[in-house]
Every structure is written in structure tokens, then in C-alpha cells.
Structure 1
Amino acid sequence: MKATTSETRTAGRPRDRRIDEAVIAATRELLATEGYAGLSLAAVATRSGTNTPAIYRRWESKAHLVHEAVFPESLATGLPSTGDLRTDVEALVRGSALLFSDPVARAALPGLLSDLVPHPELHRELMDQLWVSRIGEVQQLLDDATAKGRVRRGVRADHLLNIIGGSALLAVLTPGQTVLDEAWINSICTLALEGITT
């Protein structure tokens, strides 16, 4: 979506990746210091050494820019399946903790989630990066464990991912700055495993 939109606007002219990288870096820096509400594309342009038209040629809105700065496409990586149920579930929990512990993500999420309402395609892309893209491989993990008698029949990957990712997201959005540390990881991992195992 991000590349398609901007490439359509600049058909026949390759994007300068140096500008992209400078804008992304400036966006992350400003999110950390100003928060989502205080972030302006004019400030991003000034800090990155470009101009707002150049930014709008690449990202159609502030929400699209922040989405790419905080949740790059590289997030949609495969699950490192080890064959050990606890190890693989812990990897999912740890990955969520790492993602949502990022100060930039914490600063961006409340405002970004609100601004996703008029951009359903961007909302779908974010959900795909964080959860949907992993449903197939997590379901295979669960099915394999079910065949070995370790997981109850009928356990769905989307439910497990919602519990893990939703717990991390809620921790970020709840006042009080919950720390997604080893104790949190172990607690969520135990709750998830006790909920699905035989």
C-alpha cells in the first residue's frame, strides 16, 4: 500500500531512498519527543532536510507516514518454529513485548489508532503485519501440538494471537506505563499455555 500509493504518484521516476530514510528517521525522533499529536509534517520536513510536497508524494497522510515509521514491512517475518510449544509461544509473546516496548510505538499508538478510522486500508495493513500474516503458521504449530496430544482440539490461532498481541497493546494504551519485562512475558506465556494445553 505505502509503496503503491507513492509509486503511482511518481510513475516513471524512481524514489530517492535517502529521502525516505531521512523522513522515517525524523518521524521517529519527533514522535519520541513530541508525541503523535505534536508531530507535524512541516516539522518532519525541516528535520529531514526536505519539504512537505516531497513527503506527500510518498505518504498520503500523517497516519500513513507514522504507520511506516513505527511498523515497517519487515515486521511481517516468519515464526521461528522450533517444534517446542512453549518455546514457540514464548517467541510470540517476546516479539509482542519487544514491539510494544519501543518508546516510539508507545508514543504513536494512541493517536495513530484514532487516525486509522478514516483509512480502513491502512488499518487492515497494520492488522495484517501484527497478526493476520502469522495465523497460518501459528495454526500449523497448534495443529501439530494437537496431533501430539499437547493442545486441546479446536484451539484457533487467531484467538491465541489476539490474547498475546492484545495483551501487549492494552498494556501500552493503559495509563501507568506497564513494563513489558521478563515477568510480564512469563505471565502472559503461562496464561496462554494453560489456556490451550490439555
Structure 2
Amino acid sequence: MMDNREVNIINRFLHGDHEAYSLLYREHVQELFSYGKALTGNDERLKDAIQDVFYKILSNPSTLKDVQNLKYFLFKSLKNRLIDILKSEMHQSQSGEAAYERFDFTINDVTVLDSLIEEEERLELSRKIKLLLNRLTARQREAVCLRYIYDMEYDEIADLLNMSNSKSARNLVSRALEHLRKDELELFILLFYSINQM
């Protein structure tokens, strides 16, 4: 769900306030880039996709009219646009599963860490978390990051991962966490809990 401030910004944009549109862009572009970077290693492709997402919103403001969770809406729009671009580039039809082939989340992309801990500790923690995440499949990594980094609900995760229901997404996250040893799991959960409290 969106907070009142975000609802107010969207309402201003829907009523023709283009400064509100610029504000929406500025507030979400970095997080979109971080998420998209995990889906594609091509920065230019990613920048184009983000621009396409916001251009579509600017061209058709009513797409935001019934949005309940703006972050989820933007993530889904970006992922779909990246899949479309990849399909176009490969000149062949493929399912959305192709996007999971490289989900490569790096903890360095989470900007709140810069203010959470000192640089040396951040780098060490980043290395440990990356090792933990690399034990998971790309699909599990994406599900875990969507849940604990981007604070998505299980039904939103299910939709982003083309799963049948929220129970499937919950099971995927649970199985992913089971792959981690108990002591590392505690570190992992503590880190993401800390991030989400910022």
C-alpha cells in the first residue's frame, strides 16, 4: 500500500501537475535501476527500459489511477519491458522465465547500506550476503530480494514471478531460506530487518 504522500503526488500528476511526475521519477528511478540491474547486465538496455516505463506513464496518466502499490506497479512494468526488449533483441518468442537466468542481486545496490555501516564493514557484509544469495537459484534470489529488500507482499511476488498464487511464492521464499545454514540465516534476516527499518 502507498502512504498518503505518494497518493497525493499521484493525484497531483493525474490532475496535470508535471512537477509531481518528475518527483515520482526522482523518487523511484534509483530503486528501479537497482532491481533492473539484477535482471540485466546491460546498463543501456536498462536505462532505455526505465525511460520507456516512465514515458508510458507520462503518455497515459490513467495507468496510475487504480494503482494500490506504486513500487510493485513500477517493478512489474520494468520487468515486462525488459522481457519485451530481450524478445525483440533475440528475434524469437520466449517466456518471461528468461528474465530469471541472471537475477544477480548485489548488496552494493542497496544504497541504505552506505549509511548503515562503515565502508569496510559494508564491503565484508556485502561479500558474505552475496555468497549466501549465490547458493540460491536465480528465481529464489529474486523472490528473497523482492520480499526482504523491496518489501513486496507474497501475492505481488507471485505475480512478478509468474506463479499461480501467494502460497507458491511463500513456499519459494521458505525453501530458499532453508538452503541457508542457521547461523548465516540469522545474519541474513538481521541485515534485511535492519534495512527495512531504515
**TM-score, length-scaled by structure 1:** 0.32
The structure, 1 or 2, with the larger RCO (C-alpha pairs under 8 Å, 6+ apart) is 1
Larger radius of gyration: 1
